[in-house]
Amino acid sequence: MVNERMKELGSRRSVIRELFEYGKLRKQEIGEENVFDFSLGNPSVPAPDAVRERLVELLQESDPVKLHGYTSAQGDLGVRQSIADYLNRTYGADLRADCFYLTAGAAASLTVSLTAILNPGDEVILLAPFFPEYRVFVERTGAKVIPVPCGAPDFQPDLQALEDAITKRTRAVLVNSPNNPTGAVLTAGNAKGLSEILRRGSERIGEPIYLIADEPYRELVYGDTEVPYLPNDYENTVVCYSFSKSISLPGERIGYVMVSPRAKDFSDLYAAVCGAGRALGFVCAPTLFQYLIPSVLGMTADLSVYDTNRRLLLESLTAYGFSVVPPKGAFYLFVKAPDGDACAFCERAKAEELLLVPSEDFGCDGYVRISYCVTTEQVERSLPAFQRLARSYGLG
Ligand code: PLP
């Protein structure tokens, strides 16, 4: 006898993973270069040189026992202080080392934060479309997902709908900006509006409603787009950050939870974060990569490749007649299914060897997601297939 829910999760892959596995098989059948795999958000640009240089330096010059040993559960004190100093300098924040809990990436930051906050029967508001794993992470705690849709053309939150969704069981609102899958970035005005709603809601229900800001794409923005630093607007904020996307280290599993020092019941919340990390068996974040952090704060991989791909796809797909959401950040393009049926659209794309993810699992119908963290050459070679796909719908 095993836990049925866990068995189900382990037996059924996510739609994204399913497509990725299909792509691997298909590449074996018809050759790698003939499959246009836009399924996974796996960065295609290498980590900055400074990452390799610092890792070599750490491996050659540090005490190996310390470098590969356990750190304190919340992470090395000096590393946490360096993150606090960087964020204080960059965003005029007021953070201290003891606001941080280092983690094995954003997924771990999310499971730790949600476990720290939620009890069975609680509600978490998710702005849809959302990263599909949110549902898994929330429901594991016995809490309920309450989706609030964000709509075309810009996929900004509908603040009135969000306020209407707050009940006395609401414990958190989870926001992801820049967004996977739309590439939308919360505007400064909406960040302020959101904080006012959460403050009013908290007062109304007599409990703090936490804002969980999932920010693995914070630095991946285009043009003059700015990503509001939400803890500056709203006191009860928990940031889930990761170095997976910004500096292309998704396999190394390193990130952090930041609990705002201005949060109501800060000490209880921070203790609950540490307790959740303990209960989930994280022990401590990978030590070698903890020690890398101070030298890479604020760095990004070369974003010019993503920007080139973004422009190329946006311009070409629009010219072919598709309706596309112009992304301001991250590396995803959200495209409307011409007849509203996203699954049928993905199947038709598959016939052209284009692997696109249907939007249903993101909590939103009628779109597909294109992950353009691939080579520009792949994007260029895929364009005729997109054009044929458009023509098959009578577009263009
Ligand atoms: N949150 C979002 C919105 C993501 O897109 C991802 C990964 O794709 C994650 C969290 C998990 O990232 P990490 O690799 O840091 O665990």
Over residues 201-244, the pLDDT tens digits come to: 999 999 999 999 999 999 999 999 999 999 999 999 999 999 99
What pLDDT is attached to residue 236?
98
- Ligand 1 contacts (CB < 6 A) are 41, 105-107, 131, 176, 180, 214, 216, 242, 244, 250, 255
Q: Which ligand 1 atom minimizes the distance to the CA of 104?
A: 16
- Collapse the DSSP code of 114 into the 3-class scheme (helix H, G, I; strand E, B; otherwise coil) and give the result: helix
Q: Where are the domains of the chain?
A: 4-48+301-392, 50-296
* Residues in contact with 322: Cβ distance below 8 Å, sequence separation at least 6, in sequence order: 335, 336, 338, 386, 390, 395
Q: Which of 214, 292, 282, 211 is nearest to 248 (CA)?
A: 292
Residues paired with 371 in a beta bridge:
332
Dihedral (C-alpha) 303, 306, 308, 313: value to the nearest 10 degrees? -160
CA of 177 to the centre of ligand 1 (A): 12
Question: Could you say which residues of the chain have pLDDT below 70?
Answer: none
What pLDDT is attached to residue 151?
86
Q: Among 15, 39, 131, which residue has the most ligand 1 atoms within 8 Å of its CB, making it the best to mutate?
A: 131
* Residues in contact with 107: Cβ distance below 8 Å, sequence separation at least 6, in sequence order: 133, 137, 242
What pLDDT is attached to residue 14?
83
DSSP string, 272-341: HHHHHHHHTT--S--HHHHHHHHHHTT----THHHHHHHHHHHHHHHHTT--EE--SBTTEEEEE-TTS-
What pLDDT is attached to residue 20?
87
Contact 202, 236 (CB under 8 A): yes
Give residue 83's identity as a one-letter amino acid code.
I
Residues paired with 102 in a beta bridge:
256
What pLDDT is attached to residue 196?
98
Q: Which of 344, 339, 331, 246 is nearest to 296 (CA)?
A: 246
Fold observed for domain 4-48+301-392 = Aspartate Aminotransferase, domain 1 (3.90.1150)
CA of 161 to the centre of ligand 1 (A): 26
Nearest CA to ligand 1 atom 5: 180
Q: Which of 284, 305, 389, 374 is nearest to 344 (CA)?
A: 389
Q: Which ligand 1 atom minimizes the distance to the CA of 110?
A: 10
- Collapse the DSSP code of 396 into the 3-class scheme (helix H, G, I; strand E, B; otherwise coil) and give the result: coil
CATH class of residue range 50-296 = alpha beta
